[in-house]
């Protein structure tokens, strides 16, 4: 093979190699960013799919607890658990998530008053403080095991009795009054019978 032929062959090989490298590779899926995941979860929540939305929001909150994105996800997950449109809402779970949010939020956080109101509404509607505190205690133990310090703030207190307790009191009063009415009616009927007997004895020849 002549030197010219060798040179042409070498150039051809280089050209093939370059063209092979320039060939487009199959498209590789890029994982979504945390911001994109949050936007997607909120979009799913807005469509009424509460279960997958809250699952994704809680995952974001656990993965990025110290970032504003993670705190927004936590607040959104808590609100979703308290949403009356959620057919599977759990007031105790919502109160626990709101407890976690309040205890880790600074006092000057703009969302603090909103979170306090949602927390108190969950208690007023029937969430039990004991279950909420137990759920938060479990979460606190998990955070301690991860050696992550969490600033704990004092939770607001419900000024009155929950709606469920007030409804139970009203039902108790209603049942008590109904029993009293029946008792009075029975007593009135007894008196009427006794009076009727007395009148008959009086009229008897």
199 found inside a domain: no
State how many domains the chain has.
2
Q: 145: which 2 tokens?
A: 């095991």
Which secondary-structure segment (H or E) carries 17?
helix 3-22
pLDDT at 79 over 50: yes
In terms of domains, do 44 and 103 share one?
A: yes
> To the nearest whole percent, how much of the chain has pLDDT over 90?
29
pLDDT grade, residue 105 (50/70/90)? confident
Backbone angles phi, psi at 8, to 5 degrees: -65, -40
Give me the DSSP letters along 129-182. HHHHHHHHHHHHHHHHHTT------PPP--SS--HHHHHHHHHHHHHHHHHHHH
In terms of domains, do 178 and 142 share one?
A: no
| Greater model confidence, 158 or 123 | 123
Q: Which domain holds residue 75?
A: 36-159
In terms of domains, do 149 and 49 share one?
A: yes
């Amino acid at each position: 093979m002549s030197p010219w032929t060798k040179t042409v062959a070498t150039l051809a090989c280089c050209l093939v190699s370059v063209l092979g490298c320039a060939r487009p590779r199959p498209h590789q899926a890029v994982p979504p960013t945390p911001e994109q995941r949050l936007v997607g979860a909120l979009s799913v929540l807005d469509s009424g799919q509460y279960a997958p939305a809250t699952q994704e929001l809680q995952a974001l909150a656990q993965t990025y607890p110290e970032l504003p994105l993670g705190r927004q996800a936590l607040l959104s997950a808590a609100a979703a658990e308290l949403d009356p449109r959620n057919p599977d809402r759990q007031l105790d779970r919502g109160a626990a998530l709101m407890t976690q949010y309040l205890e880790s939020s600074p006092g000057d956080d703009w969302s603090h008053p909103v979170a306090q109101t949602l927390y108190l509404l969950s208690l007023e509607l029937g969430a039990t403080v004991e279950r909420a505190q137990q759920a938060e205690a479990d979460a606190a133990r998990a955070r301690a095991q991860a050696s992550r310090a969490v600033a704990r703030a004092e939770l607001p207190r419900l000024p009155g009795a929950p709606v469920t307790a007030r409804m139970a009191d009203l039902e108790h009063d209603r049942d008590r009054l109904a029993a009293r009415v029946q008792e009075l009616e029975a007593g009135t009927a007894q008196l009427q019978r006794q009076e009727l007997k007395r009148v008959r004895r009086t009229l008897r020849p």
